[in-house]
Amino acid sequence: MKIDILTLFPEMFRGVMESSIMKKAQENQAFTYQTIDFRQYTTNKHQKVDDYPYGGGAGMVLMPQPIFSAVDAIKQSESKPPRIVLMCPQGERFTQRKAEELAKEDHLIFICGHYEGYDERIREQLVTDEISIGDFVLTGGELGAMVVIDSVVRLLPSALGNQQSAREDSFSTGLLEHPHYTRPAVFQGMEVPEILRSGHHEKIEKWRKQQSLKRTLERRPDLLEDYPLTDEEKKWLDR
């Protein structure tokens, strides 16, 4: 996968993109990325990328020209249209399903805004997706883009040491993940459930599924509304 990030602050991405799983994923050739300061594409002699909004009001609005020009430059070498993601608090709320959808793409372009907002023509004519990571406002789209990129990259083949880990994560199955334990078996009087030490894989799998259902019911019952429960699972939840 190829990822291009349009931002006025490229330096913000270095720590995230060059550490931990993100760094390993690049070493494993799961993806490549580049940050692009779209200020470099402005035709304004003062390198302005924003201006006052028509009609008045507070704040500054990002002008369309620098962003359109930057995207056009990226697309010149592409035979297949990329997916262009606008990070925006007005966008679709980001979910694991959206991450799985984006992980199937060959090329993603992220647009990270600052200031009051974007010229509406950017939304209408340029982007394919508008994404929000939650009902709150950040100073810019960079942090949101990092969150989305991280969740997408970890789903790519060879990004994780064990790809099964991504398939079993919370939300990937439609439920919250079951509890995890490791050594020692007893810590400060607290014991690891005996079933996990039994070596009986079928019983362990059943216990984990029940715990996943229980945790989802307690913490995120809304997720069960669309989850295809079996008759056995319904009875277990009722109990």
Assign 201 to helix, strand or coil: helix
Answer whether 43's CB lies under 8 Å from 49's CB.
Answer: no
Query: Per the annotation, where are the binding residues for S-adenosyl-L-methionine?
Result: 113, 133-138
Instruction: Find out whether 131 and 112 touch, Cβ atoms under 8 Å.
Output: no
Q: What is the pTM of this model?
A: 0.89
Per-residue pLDDT of the chain (239 residues; tens, 9 = 90+): 999 999 999 999 999 999 999 999 999 999 999 999 999 999 998 999 999 999 998 889 999 999 999 999 999 988 899 999 999 999 999 999 999 999 999 999 999 998 889 999 999 999 999 999 999 999 999 999 999 999 999 999 989 865 556 555 667 788 999 999 999 999 999 999 999 999 999 999 999 999 999 999 999 999 999 999 999 999 999 99
Question: Out of 3.40.50.2300, 3.40.1280.10, 3.30.300.90, 3.30.300.210, which CATH number does the structure's domain 2-153 have?
Answer: 3.40.1280.10
Evaluate the omega torsion of the peptide bond into residue 82 and state whether it is cis, within 30 degrees of 0: no
Range 168-238 has CATH code 1.10.1270.20: yes
**Residues annotated as part of the active site:** 89, 116, 154, 169
